[in-house]
Amino acid sequence: MSEMDGKHPDLPANSQRMIGVLPIPGFALTSYACTVEPFRAANLLSRRRLYDVVHFSTGGAVPSSGTAVAQADALVGETPRLDFLFVVAGGDPAAYENREVFAWLGRMARRGVLLGGVSGGPVILARAGLMQGRRMTVHWEHAAALAEIGPGLLIERSLYVIDRDRVTCAGGTAPLDLMHALIAGHHGVSFARAVSDWFLHTDIRPSSGAQRAGLVDRVGTTAAPVLDAVEAMENHIADPLALRDLAAVAGVSPRQLGRLFHDRLGVPVMGYYRELRLATARRLVTQSPLPLTEIALATGFANSAHFSAAYVRRFGEPPSRARR
């Protein structure tokens, strides 16, 4: 079946999502294009309005890092129903100071909107006080400034990080990889690949930043469903997916995915997933000042007791002792 016939098999009915974009004056033009264009392509390829994109500003058009400008559809302060709100910045985001914007972002977060930061955008989210207890990344140019703003922030050198209700991306062309992951989660891997192919973006990189071959080496198999499932796991450490969701992302049945994991890796699907989450937890316990309760939430455990019990079973000591 062609992706152009408007009846792609991965696409559920009534799946329209509202995407907000807040470009900050001087925003990085490449990062902006790689953020918004995949949504336009998804609408085009599906021949349905899967995504509505709404641009916000504090008033008027917003100039980019080049000669282009972004026209605003709505004003900061308005609170339409949004699924995602992406802040795209460039230049010197550490110097950005707009209390109206910071307060509005906080209100949108409290309304349940998933907040994203692209290129310098994660710095804006951090300055608004919205990244505490969340793993995050940022463009390498802004990493030092971000570390000064918040020495306790959990900064990773990744292409993108999805941690519960926060999504951060290093910018450049990395938003193409992020949008592939998001669209795959919404509409399936095969449709997301069709969107990526539209941009000749055939080498999809996982959030960790390695090329596909790096994922093959790390996981130890070339089986595409296993690699797709592992990539989804790595993108959902704090909000673990169910087996049926992992299977849907991988394009196979849960039973088939279980057989592939057993045959190729010798472990159950969810056992592999838990190992990934606990490995992330151990890194946070030993390398970050984050309270153990926050680490439990950041790695997908319902509470501290559940986290501590799983940690002891895996590493032979409670996380409190490992930290000492």
SS3 135: strand
Q: Is the pLDDT of residue 13 over 80?
A: no
| pLDDT at 224 > cutoff 70 | yes
CATH topology of domain 3-178: Rossmann fold (3.40.50)
Average pLDDT of the segment spanning 122-139: 91
Predicted confidence (pLDDT) at residue 3 exceeds the cutoff of 50: no
Asked whether the domain spanning 210-324 has the same topology as the one spanning 3-178, the reply is no
Q: Does domain 210-324 have CATH number 1.10.1040.20?
A: no
63 and 37 in contact (C-beta within 8 Å)?
no
d(CA 14, CA 87): 26
Tell me: the pLDDT tens digits for 254-293?
999 999 999 999 999 999 999 999 998 888 888 667 788 8
Report which DSSP code applies to 76: B
- Which of these ranges, 33-47, 109-123, 138-152, 300-314, has the smallest mean pLDDT? 138-152
Per-residue pLDDT band for 211 (boundaries 50, 70, 90) equals: very low
Which residue stretches of 150-268 are H helix?
174-187, 189-198, 212-219, 224-235, 243-250, 254-265
Model pLDDT, residue 144: 67
Whole-number mean pLDDT of the chain? 86
Q: Which helix (H) or strand (E) element contains residue 92?
A: none
**Directed axis angle between helix 243-250 and helix 224-235, to 10°?**
130
Higher pLDDT, 153 or 11: 153
Higher pLDDT, 4 or 148: 148
**Contact of 211 with 218, CB cutoff 8 Å:** no
* Token pair for 46: 């599906």
For the chain, the first-to-last Cα distance in angstroms comes to 58
Q: Specify the pLDDT at position 209.
A: 54
pLDDT on residue 271: 95
Residue 182: pLDDT band with limits 50, 70, 90: very high
**Which tens digit of pLDDT belongs to each residue from 235-252?**
788 888 899 989 988 889
**What confidence tens digit (pLDDT) does each residue in 61-108 have?**
999 988 889 999 999 999 889 999 999 999 888 889 999 999 999 999
Can you point out the beta strands (E) in 65-222? 69-70, 74-75, 84-89, 114-119, 135-136, 154-155, 160-163, 166-169
Question: What are the strands, taking DSSP E only, across the chain?
Answer: 17-23, 51-57, 62-63, 69-70, 74-75, 84-89, 114-119, 135-136, 154-155, 160-163, 166-169
Model pLDDT, residue 267: 94
| 8 confidence band (pLDDT: 50, 70, 90) | very low
Listed by start position, the domains of the chain span 3-178, 210-324
pLDDT at 324: 67
The proportion of the chain whose per-residue pLDDT surpasses 90, expressed as a percent, equals: 53
Task: Quote the pLDDT of residue 4.
Answer: 33
pLDDT at 134: 87
Q: What pTM was estimated for this model as a whole? A: 0.67
